[in-house]
Amino acid sequence: MLFAVRMDVSVPQDMDAQAKAELLAAEKDYSQDLQRKGEWQSIWRCVGEYANISIFDVAGNERLHEILWGLPLFPYMTMDITPLAEHPSDISLD
Ligand SMILES: O=C(O)CC1=CCC(=O)O1
């Protein structure tokens, strides 16, 4: 199942610099591991915002929930999740 997830990040301004660096490194590792496994298909920066739009291809809602809850940055994010279906005008389906 495909999902588009928008993640808006808001890390506290007063977070310790070392703790922030470790948090962002852990987030990157977590994301790239799932990208290599094929569940996190792509990640795009939203221009001018501390936000991304990511495409996930996962077994179902429970798996997406598990992945999102496991994000190191989860406590500092808000998310908007859109389940995706094939579009009849997609030429790759012809
Ligand atoms: O920087 C972001 O948009 C937050 C994020 C999610 C996965 C990742 O590597 O960074």
For the domain made up of 2-86, give the CATH fold.
Answer: Alpha-Beta Plaits (3.30.70)
Task: Provide the pLDDT for residue 66.
Answer: 98
Residue entry with tokens 């490194």:
25
Dist. CA 56–CA 36, nearest whole Å = 12
Dist. CA 93–CA 51, nearest whole Å = 31
Residue having the nearest C-alpha atom to atom 9 of ligand 1? 28
Q: Is the CB of 7 under 6 A from ligand 1?
A: yes
Q: Is the CB of 31 under 6 A from ligand 1?
A: yes
Q: Is the CB of 8 under 6 A from ligand 1?
A: no
ipTM entry: 0.97
Q: Is the CB of 54 under 6 A from ligand 1?
A: no
Q: If residue 73 lies in a helix (H) or strand (E), which one and from where to where?
A: none
Task: Provide the pLDDT for residue 14.
Answer: 96
User: How does pLDDT run along the chain (94 residues), one tens digit per residue?
Assistant: 999 999 999 999 999 999 999 999 999 999 999 999 999 999 999 999 999 999 999 999 999 999 999 999 999 999 999 999 999 999 999 9
Task: Provide the pLDDT for residue 37.
Answer: 98
Dist. CA 47–CA 31, nearest whole Å = 19
Residue 89 in 3-state DSSP?
Answer: coil
Claim: this prediction has a pTM higher than 0.90: yes
- The domain spans of the chain are 2-86
